[in-house]
Amino acid sequence: MYDVIVIGGGPAGYVAAIKCSQLGLKTACLEEFSDKKGTPVFGGTCLNVGCIPSKALLESSHKYFEAQGRLANHGINIGKVELDLASMMQRKNEIVKQLTGGISGLLAANKVTPLSGRGKVLAGTKVEITKDDSSIEILESKNIIIASGSSPIEIKAAEFNEKNIVNSTGALNFKEVPKTLGVIGAGVIGLELGSVWARLGSKVTVIEAMDNFLFMADKEIAKESLKDFKKQGLDIKLGSKLISSENKKNSVKIQYEHSESIEEMEFEKLVVAVGRRPNTNNIFSEDSGIILDEKGFISVDDKCQTNTPNVWAIGDVVRGPMLAHKGSEEGMMVAEIIAGKYAEMNYNLVPSVIYTHPEIAWVGKNEEELKADKLEYKVGKFPFAASGRALAIDQSTGFVKILSDAKTDTILGVHVFGPSAAEIVQQALISMEFGASSQDIGLTIFSHPTVSEALHEAALSVNNQAIHIGNKRL
């Protein structure tokens, strides 16, 4: 009998399992994805086909882009640059292998029992495991954590065929650079993977149903970044809804609706990135008592407890942003609670990052949300064009924006479009966890020259005290 069985070995599940074991609980982690030998491969979407391979390709493609011309700005001329896509892919695959192997090592070091097979929660905190050879085993556990993750949404208008209509996994594995690439959805995946292939030479068109670009981001950041993506060659068509596609021998023809007219385009490859859906199919029996919420996620409270005692659910399979760090943090919280400790998670401060170039990152509320909440706020901004370090590294696009409470000056949101945006937001986030005001950041010493100084100056600018810009609104 286990104390805990975790179903799913992604960043939510494997972190939960390690934490449970560290807290003295007898723990197993069950994963259905396995290698040719039938050994479970841990890491989930994030390590295998998500965060890590996409960031590897973003980095490689950016280096290729820089070598092709941008380095000339530094007085470095390197002549003809050639792309070796197979080596680029190989590097990415090796990073994935190293990291997924590393997780197996971590589970072993932490005495978590690895289990291979597909899990289903039965009544009475039992887990039914269907193995690769179709045999079935039933294990008992005092607690179960469901961390089965999510999968790409497939739409009728463009069904995946693994050839020329693919999801994000297919777009991480093209063997050749498509001459023309259509991307359905200007969300996080569309922008990141669209950027990768545009830098490698594809003519990329992104078809987005909504009129608002990046509706979840601060409007000003979204507007500024849209201008920059267009400059980078991404043809982003807003207010354009895919309605059908026609598979040809070596291409895909699509029809989309824009301003009440039907437009057509043809691409060598089409990536459909219109969101992800929780993996809830056949994950629990009806008599287990677990229920789904109105959006199809496993229904949980703010402690990730399902409505069945001792059954928990974390990560992409439950409400909230589908982000690796959100799932991992939920895993740690649940482990602590199962071990009898008090734990909670601050859902107000989950950071978001889009790893384009420049990056887009934010935490807390944006202006639109503050207005909707009828909260009075102050704004401080600082452009990277006025940062010495940003100019030195040839990355002076974008700005830092801080929103603070009009009366108390407590920081309510930080939004960055520019170099190291993710790291800058992370610094702000730490201060926000301690209830910082913009004045607190203004009174903090920042190393010079760093791009982080833009955070310092934006904080000073909230109260019209910035040094390196005029203090009128930008």
Angle at 58 between CA 56 and CA 62, to 5 degrees: 120
Lay out the site mask for ligand NAI across 150-179 (x = CB under 6 A, - = otherwise): -----x------------------------
Alpha-carbon distances of 245 from 108, 152, 157, rounded to whole Å: 47, 18, 6
- Max Cα distance, the chain (Å): 71
Least distance to ligand FAD, CB of residue 123, Å: 17
Q: Which of residues 324-353 bind ligand FAD (CB under 6 A)?
A: 324-325, 327
| Position among 200, 323, 370, 441 found at the interface with ligand FAD (CB under 6 A) | 323
Please enumerate, as own/partner, the contacts of 159-166 that have beta carbons within 8 Å and a separation of 24 or more.
160/272, 161/247, 164/247, 164/250, 164/251, 164/252, 164/267, 164/268, 164/269, 164/270, 165/245, 165/247, 165/252, 165/269, 165/270, 165/272, 166/269, 166/270, 166/271, 166/272
258, 357, 448, 468: the active-site residue: 448
Least distance to ligand FAD, CB of residue 68, Å: 24
| Position among 148, 308, 452, 461 found at the interface with ligand FAD (CB under 6 A) | 148
Using the minimum distance from each CB to ligand NAI, give the nearer residue, 192 or 457. Answer: 192
Using the minimum distance from each CB to ligand FAD, give the nearer residue, 119 or 358. Answer: 119
Least distance to ligand NAI, CB of residue 332, Å: 19
Using the minimum distance from each CB to ligand NAI, give the nearer residue, 19 or 276. Answer: 276
Q: What is the DSSP string of 7-73?
A: E--STTHHHHHHHHHHTT--EEEEES-B-TTS-B--SHHHHHHSHHHHHHHHHHHHHHHHHTTGGGG
| Position among 21, 100, 164, 168 found at the interface with ligand FAD (CB under 6 A) | 168
Contacted entry of ligand NAI, ligand FAD, none for residue 40, CB cut-off 5 to 8 Å set by kind: none
* Backbone dihedral region for residue 195 (phi beyond 0: left; psi -120 to 50: alpha; all else: beta): alpha
**Is residue 89 within a helix (H) or strand (E), and if so which, with residue range?**
helix 85-109
| Position among 33, 65, 312, 355 found at the interface with ligand NAI (CB under 6 A) | 355
H-only helix segments in 379-474: 388-392, 421-433, 438-442, 453-462
Considering the rule CB under 6 A, would residue 209 count as an interface residue with ligand NAI?
yes
Considering the rule CB under 6 A, would residue 419 count as an interface residue with ligand FAD?
no
Lay out the site mask for ligand NAI across 309-338 (x = CB under 6 A, - = otherwise): ------------xxx---------------
**Is 448 noted as a catalytic residue in this protein?**
yes
Coil/strand/helix, residue 366: coil
| Position among 129, 147, 183, 184 found at the interface with ligand NAI (CB under 6 A) | 184
Considering the rule CB under 6 A, would residue 402 count as an interface residue with ligand FAD?
no
* CA dist., res. 379 & res. 406, Å (int): 9
Q: Which amino acid is at 98?
A: Q
Using the minimum distance from each CB to ligand FAD, give the nearer residue, 206 or 460. Answer: 206
Looking at 38-170, which runs of residues are DSSP E strands?
113-116, 118-122, 126-130, 136-146, 150-152, 165-166
Considering the rule CB under 6 A, would residue 51 count as an interface residue with ligand FAD?
yes
Alpha-carbon distances of 263 from 68, 81, 207, 347, rounded to whole Å: 34, 36, 11, 41
Lay out the site mask for ligand NAI across 266-295 (x = CB under 6 A, - = otherwise): -------xxxx-------------------
* CA dist., res. 451 & res. 446, Å (int): 10
Q: Cβ(292)–Cβ(298) under 8 Å?
A: yes
| Position among 4, 5, 20, 54 found at the interface with ligand FAD (CB under 6 A) | 54
Considering the rule CB under 6 A, would residue 30 count as an interface residue with ligand FAD?
yes
* CA dist., res. 171 & res. 194, Å (int): 9
Considering the rule CB under 6 A, would residue 190 count as an interface residue with ligand FAD?
no
Give the position of tokens 């993506």. Answer: 229
Using the minimum distance from each CB to ligand NAI, give the nearer residue, 174 or 377. Answer: 174
Which residues of the shown chain bind ligand FAD in the complex (CB under 6 A)?
7-13, 30-33, 44-46, 50-51, 54, 118-119, 147-150, 168, 189, 279, 283, 315-316, 322-325, 327, 355
Which residues of the shown chain bind ligand NAI in the complex (CB under 6 A)?
155, 184-190, 192, 207-210, 241-242, 273-276, 321-323, 353-355
Which residues does the annotation mark as catalytic?
Answer: 448
